A and B are shown apart, each in its own frame.
Chain A
Amino acid sequence: MSTIKRRTIIGTVPAALATGALAACGDDAEPAAAGKPEDLDAALEQGGKLTYWTWTPSGEAQAAAFTAQYPNVEVDVVNAGTATDEYTALQNAVAAGSGAPDVAQIEYYALQQFALSDSLVDLAQYGFADLEPQYTASTWAAVNLGGIYGLPQDSGPMIMLYNQAIFDQFGLTVPATWDEYVAAAETLHAADPDRFLTNDAGDPGFAQPLIWQAGGRPYTVDGTNVAIDLQDEGSRRWADMWNRMLQPGLLAPIPTWSDDWWKALSNGTVASLISGSWMPGILEGSVPEGAGNWRVAPVPSYDGTPATAENGGSAQSVLKQSANPALAAAFLRWLNSSPESIAVFLENGGFPSTTAELASAEFTGTAPDYFGGQQINEVCVAASENVATGFQYLPFQVYANSVFPDTVGTAYTEQGDLNAGLEAWQASLESYGETQGFQVN
């Protein structure tokens, strides 16, 4: 018995290593025969079985609606973890050469990384370029990375959510600029040291959209050439402004999403949030104590001109490991561009990336009681129209975010200078990029 096993293993090792090797990138040659747009309908007709990884709450319902329409196709919806956990599983499957799903949810910031490791199918071959007009410019830009590596599902144009009851109690007005924002933070914390205008314990998924909003474009990616400048004008502008919050202790040092954080939202310790447009749905769903108190406003600007950024949001992509990429692409097309699917997505509280839904009177006219009858989507839609262009993420952004706490995080715990933290982060990223064979400038 043991000899047989041993032989299997010896035969296995080099093979595993070979598949573990990620393909070199920068060469566009498709090994398989390119697909055609017509393949999609044929694939739907023929049917088959798909695996779809997602953590979107509407995932199951959307798949059910899909199979009702296309009974030949079976979709197995799997929650393989939220965000980074899913990427780890996905990365493992890619490295192992098997085990990846047909379709997976991937946040915009991570798309480039999976595209670069040659894990994703370029959907341009199926004519997906024609779908561009359906999506907001910023979300389309996020999937169009020298190939169409996914279709946008949700988006997260930045907004500010604030607790009107607390603002009234302390006589705060809604800040329109960051200067006013810092002043409001000072007023509130001075009036009641137990309260904070907002919390931030260091979160790359929060800092980078704010850098984006401030005009920072720290990453320039051209194939395998990567330039990193986390001290460009915009990055500094954000860091300088946020230093004014961090250093005097105006930021509640509560990690976003921790149980303490949910408590802080419930009991009014934290009076406002800068977040994506998906946040109102979460507040309404999970912070019932805030009912009637919360409102939505545009994110503060630096100079009075409205500018926003995308905070969060995901696309769905077809994996190269898929045995039936045409069917997977057909499902994806239905999932993120058919009105039936998007309707299910909206019912579950998602914030869309499709212009038709964002422009519809039904969507903008919603006035939830939770937000005191405010037509919050008007603010959110305006935010989606003001997303600044030209922001790129790194082709190793998942890793980059994982070492943010090591570097910038230190500035947070020490209430030090965020610029120093950003510099340390940059050094760490440059060295990683070089080790991985990128041309880092």
Chain B
Amino acid sequence: MPPQAPRKPRRDWRGWQFTGPFAAVFVFVFIAPLAYALWLSLFQNRLVGGNAFVGLENYRTALTDPQFWDGFLRVLLFLLVQVPIMLALALIAALAIDSARLYATGLFRLVIFLPYAVPAVVAVLMWGFIYGDHFGLTADLNELLGTDLRPFAPAWMTASLGNIVTWEYVGYNMLIFYSALKTVPYELYEAAEIDGARGVQVLKAIKLPAVRGAVVIATIFSIIGSFQLFNEPNVLKPLANNVINSYFTPNMYAYNLSFAGQQYNYSATIAIVMGVITAAIAYAIQLRGTRREDR
């Protein structure tokens, strides 16, 4: 939450000349479509019979729609497994780099970050080729090691996607954590050493508290990202059409409802329900994160 700037007695409108342009565009590309989506969600437009006001009917349907909840549970599972793994890896990498005990620190920092610069579409096309269990790299691996990796099998699919997402974003999160660690004043470490604190103690007493804020932010962004999962499964779909079905994630479901099924109204409803859930969870994490900080 924003910190309070010193209170001023009279109304001061000067801030708007700075914040106005952003607000104007924001209203145009965010608020207006959002309002329009809300409006759309109150109607039902049939291929036969035209448009009719249906009130909250679409919301009732959404709350009991097994396909929506199937997708929702999938991204929830994804979130509960992939996000902690990714953030833990990112944190480990950040701590390792920050420890200055690596040779060629700069190389590590840069290379681990590199995948973030790869467009998601390119990343997925690439991993799609690699995942090919008949003739892709996976097939070569299976032959070489005698393993039976099947990245496109139903049981593996979520993990395969999780791997792509982890690959894309672990470096980005690592950098956020690393930057947070960099802000720790040198004197703090010196003081710790004088007190005789070592290794794990320094980690617990200085380093982890230093990254807590960054972890909260990264968690929130990762949660929003997971709930919005779309590009990766959608680009991978042609390679695993039966496994990545049309409601694999809520966002894919919303997309297919409108663009394949022409159910624009219901699609808008799904979007709003998903938005409300995401906002609520993100807000809860933020509250929890800040409360801990206060302690």
Q: Give B residues with C-beta under 8 Å from A.
A: 20-21, 23-24, 27-28, 32, 35-36, 39-40, 43, 45-51, 128-129, 132-136, 153-154, 238-247, 256, 259-264
Selected from B45, B134, B238, the residue in CB contact (under 8 A) with A21 is B45
User: Which one of A9, A116, A255, A413 contacts B239 once the chains associate, using CB atoms below 8 Å?
Assistant: A255
Inter-subunit contact B132/A26 (CB<8 Å): no
| Residues of B close to A47: CB separation below 8 A | none
| Cβ-closest chain A residue relative to B51 | A21
Q: In the bound complex, do residue A202 and residue B48 qualify as a contact, i.e. CB atoms below 8 Å apart? A: no
- Asked if A231 is an interface residue, CB under 8 A from chain B, the answer is no
Contact partners of A356 in chain B: CB under 8 A: none
Q: A88 to B20: give the CA distance in the assembly, Å.
A: 36
Q: Which of A256-264, A287-295, A302-310, A357-365 lines the interface with chain B?
A: A256-264
Q: A269 contacts the other chain (Cβ, under 8 Å)? A: yes
Contact A437 B242 (CB under 8 A): no
State whether A405 touches B246 (Cβ < 8 A): yes
Q: List 22 A-B contacts (CB under 8 A).
A: A6-B27, A6-B32, A9-B28, A13-B35, A17-B40, A21-B51, A25-B47, A26-B48, A255-B239, A258-B132, A258-B238, A259-B128, A264-B134, A267-B135, A398-B260, A402-B246, A402-B256, A403-B246, A405-B244, A435-B46, A436-B47, A437-B46
| Residues of chain B lying within 8 A (CB to CB) of residue A254 | 134
Residues in A whose Cβ lies below 8 Å from that of B242: 201-202, 405, 409-410, 412-413
Tell me the number of A-to-B contacts counted with CB atoms below 8 Å: 130
**Top 6 A-B residue pairs of the complex, sorted by shortest distance between their CB atoms:** A409-B242, A437-B48, A437-B46, A437-B49, A2-B24, A402-B260
Q: A22-B262, A399-B262, A436-B48 known; A259 and B245 CB under 8 Å?
A: no
Q: CB within 8 Å of B: which of A249-295?
A: 252, 254-255, 257-260, 263-264, 267, 269
Given contacts A95-B262, A402-B246, A432-B261, contact A117 B47 (CB under 8 A): yes
Given A22-B45, A406-B247, does the pair A17, B39 have CB atoms closer than 8 Å?
A: yes
A402 to chain B: which residues have CB within 8 Å? 246, 256, 260-261
Return the contact of A438 from the options B40, B47, B245, B263 (Cβ within 8 A).
B47
A13 adjacent to B48 (CB under 8 Å): no
Q: A401's closest neighbor in chain B, by CB?
A: B260
Q: In whole Å, how far is B252's beta carbon from the nearest beta carbon of chain A?
A: 11
Residues of B near A406 (CB, < 8 A) are 245-247
Shortest beta-carbon distance from B45 to chain A in Å: 6
On whether A202 and B241 interact (CB within 8 A), knowing A2-B20, A224-B48, the answer reads: yes
**Residue of chain B at shortest CB distance from A398:** B260
- Nearest A-chain residue to B153, judged by Cβ: A413
Query: Could you say which of B21, B51, B134, B256 contacts A260, with CB atoms under 8 Å apart?
Result: B134
Do B51 and A257 have beta carbons less than 8 Å apart? no
Q: Judge whether B51 and A264 touch: CB under 8 Å.
A: no
Contacts of B245 in A (CB 8 A): 403, 405-406, 409
Assess whether A5 is in contact with B27, with CB atoms less than 8 Å apart: yes
A-side contacts of B51, CB under 8 Å: 17, 21
- Given contacts A2-B23, A405-B246, A258 and B46 within 8 Å (CB-CB): no
| A92 in contact (CB, < 8 A) | yes
Chain B: minimal CB distance from A80 (Å):
14
Q: Is the CB of A92 within 8 A of B259?
A: yes
Closest to B40 in A: A17
Contacts of B133 in A (CB 8 A): 260
CB contacts (< 8 Å) of A203 on chain B: these are: 241
Give every chain A residue within 8 A of B36 (Cβ-Cβ): 13, 16
Say how far B66's CB is from chain A's closest CB, in angstroms. 12
* Minimum Cβ distance to chain A for residue B91 (Å): 36
Question: In whole angstroms, how far apart are the Cα atoms of A406 and B67 in the complex?
Answer: 10
Distance of A401 from chain B, by nearest CB (Å): 8
Q: In the complex, what distance in Å separates the CA atom of A24 from the CA atom of B23?
A: 39
Chain A residues near B27 (CB-CB < 8 A): 2, 5-6, 9
Query: In the bound complex, how far is the Cα of B48 from the Cα of A395, in angstroms?
Result: 11
Q: For B40, list chain A residues within 8 Å (CB).
A: 17
A191 contacts partner chain B, Cβ-Cβ < 8 Å: no
Kindly state the separation between the CA atoms of A92 and B129 in the bound complex, as whole angstroms.
31
In the bound complex, CA of A269 to CA of B32 (Å): 54
